[in-house]
């Protein structure tokens, strides 16, 4: 079905707007995946703050021009579904990785983060990045460890003194 010029311009501007604010991008080939499965993927993407869109390659090339994701141009062949992580850099990778586990025909082509094109083999590395909340909790646990150790050390001093006094008392009572 032919798309009117106004619709093409709208698609390009919408994808360009998403690309300028995205943290990472993942491209996948969706050939052979049923419509109901793609609907499930779209639902999972919405729940995780991922911008997911099927875009013609020519329109996508125009949309990502002069953005960090211009490096995706060499892999834009065949049917392409695009996923931009909007809030968490690893969100799109996690969503597509989980979806690919249940769908053998779904194949991740490439991904990009920070203006660099990465192969599909790097999907696990990007998907394993912690979320914002996980990263904050990891930082807090690292910051809390020295304080906790200091508190334990201070607590041991009176305990050792009490044990020493008790030992002296027991020794005098025995004598």
Average pLDDT over the chain, rounded to an integer: 88
158 and 84 in a common domain? no
What is the rounded average pLDDT of the residues 79-94? 90
**Dist CA 175 CA 169 (whole Å):** 10
What is the rounded average pLDDT of the residues 41-63? 92
CATH code at position 38: 3.30.70.1730
What pLDDT digit, counting tens, does each position of 11-20 carry? Answer: 999 999 999 9
Tell if the pTM clears 0.85, that is, is over it.
Answer: no
Contact predicate 106/78, CB 8 Å: no
DSSP string, 67-113: SGGGGGGGG--SS-EEEEESS-TTHHHHHHHHHHHH-TT-EEEEEEE
104: domain range?
5-129
What pLDDT digit, counting tens, does each position of 103-148 carry? Answer: 888 899 999 988 888 888 888 888 878 888 888 888 898 888 888 8
pLDDT for 1 equals: 62
118 and 36 in a common domain? yes
């Amino acid at each position: 079905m032919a798309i009117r010029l106004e619709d093409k311009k709208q698609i390009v501007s919408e994808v360009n707007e998403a690309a300028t604010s995205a943290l990472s991008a993942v491209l996948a080939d969706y050939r052979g995946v049923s419509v109901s499965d793609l609907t499930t993927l779209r639902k999972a993407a919405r729940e995780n703050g991922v911008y997911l869109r099927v875009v013609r390659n020519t329109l996508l090339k125009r949309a990502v021009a002069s953005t960090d994701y211009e490096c995706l141009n060499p892999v834009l062949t065949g049917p392409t579904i695009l996923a931009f992580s909007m809030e968490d850099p690893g969100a799109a990778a996690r969503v597509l990785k989980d979806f690919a586990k249940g769908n053998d025909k779904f194949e991740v082509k490439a991904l990009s983060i920070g203006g660099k094109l990465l192969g599909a083999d790097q999907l696990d590395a990007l998907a394993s990045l912690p979320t914002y909340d996980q990263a904050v909790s990891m930082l807090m646990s690292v910051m809390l460890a020295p304080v906790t150790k200091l508190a334990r050390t201070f607590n041991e001093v009176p305990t050792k003194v009490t044990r020493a006094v008790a030992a002296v008392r027991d020794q005098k009572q025995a004598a």
